[in-house]
Amino acid sequence: MLSVWFRVIRIRFLLASVIAVSVGLSLNWWQNFTIEPFDAILTFAGVMALHASVDLLNDFWDFKRGIDTNTPKTKMSGGTGVLPEGLLKPSSVYRAGIAFLIIGSTIGSYFVITDGILIAIILGFAILSIYFYSTKIVDSGLGEFFVGVKGSMIVLGTFFIQSGQLTLESVLAGVVVGSLSSLVLFIASFPDHDADKSKGRKTLVIAVGKEKASKLFWIFPFVSYGTIISGVCLNLFPLITLITLVSLPLMVKSGLGLKKSFDSVEKLIPYMSSTLMFSRITGILFVLSFLIGIVA
């Protein structure tokens, strides 16, 4: 049963939030040479809970709307399959989603008390966007935008909790993480195009069509890489941050693969995987660059 819950929570996708928190922590360490272990652990716990909440509620609403029963299931799209397969009750998944939302909100409320209004704004955004993500937000075509903002805010919030500051470096680091997260959601929405469209969803892929959307792929890594290079040129990031460019071949492979395979789920799968790998490797190297930058 535990393995089923791990499946519906999409435990391996929690790495995106782990990276986002780690970016905020490592950036603070690079700039200020300090870390508050208790606050860091609480931040990880709160962000993980909120991430689990949005995935659980997304699975619940997709099942209720009949989306997951009509989508081709892959490792990155089509839902977890837990509810269509009858492995858990929809009510149980919904209650678990709300429980994780309450846990994350409670931890966030602690930081509102200790760190003030900025954390309150971030927490308020998180709560509203998580609860309404699978209905109002995705239906309005703002899914990628909100995921990008979410990733950015995790970095900003983590950095602010540790340092008490909001700096240009933390804003730029948030943009890098947010665009990487949005890219994964973007390419994963291609296989779900028909089912999402039939049930009233309006992803970016649906809004512009698969063929045109495949050309938009390059915008996301351009923003990530462009922000990193700009940060280095402006002496806001350490020179070693350019190590993130190691993932460039994966990005090119994914973009070219999407261009020729956007209309075939089976052929698209390896490029969805390489996009996920590109996002994770770039994020991890980004974290390491700040840690290495201390001694470089």
Is the pLDDT at 296 greater than 70? The verdict is: no
Q: Which residue is associated with the tokens 């296989």?
A: 191
Q: Inform me whether the pLDDT recorded for 45 exceeds 90.
A: yes
pLDDT tens digits along 136-158? 887 787 888 889 999 999 999 99
Percent of the chain past pLDDT 90, that is, above it, reads 73
Q: Which of 253, 296, 243, 241 is nearest to 277 (CA)?
A: 253
Tokens of 143: 């899914």
Taking the chain, what is the end-to-end CA distance rounded to the nearest angstrom? 47
Distance, CA of 214 to CA of 141 (rounded, Å):
16
Predicted structure pTM score: 0.94
Structural domain that includes position 101: 2-293
pLDDT at 251: 97
Give the CATH number of the domain where residue 249 resides: 1.10.600
Reported as a pLDDT band with limits 50, 70 and 90, residue 84 is confident
pLDDT at 170 over 80: yes
Write the DSSP assignment of the chain as a string of letters.
-HHHHHHHHTGGGGHHHHHHHHHHHHHHHHHHS---HHHHHHHHHHHHHHHHHHHHHHHHHHHHTT-TTTSPP-SSSS--STTTTTSS-HHHHHHHHHHHHHHHHHHHHHHHHHH-HHHHHHHHHHHHHHHHIIIIIHHTT-HHHHHHHHHHHHHHHHHHHHHS---HHHHHHHHHHHHHHHHHHHHHTSTTHHHHHHTT---HHHHH-HHHHHHHTTHHHHHHHHHHHHHHHTTSS-GGGGGGGGGHHHHHHHHHHHHHHTT-HHHHHHHHHHHHHHHHHHHHHHHHHHHHHTT-
Residue 111 predicted with pLDDT over 80 = yes
How many separate domains does the chain show? 1
CA–CA distance, 292 with 284 (Å, rounded to integer): 12
User: Which pLDDT score is estimated for 138?
Assistant: 79
Nearest-angstrom CA–CA distance, 14 and 55: 10
Tokens 């699978």 — which residue? 134
Please report the sign of the dihedral spanned by the C-alpha atoms of residue 253, residue 256, residue 262, residue 267: negative
Is 295 a residue whose pLDDT tops 70? no
pLDDT at 47: 97
Positive or negative torsion for Cα 269, 19, 202, 8? positive
Count other C-beta atoms under 10 Å from residue 125's C-beta: 15
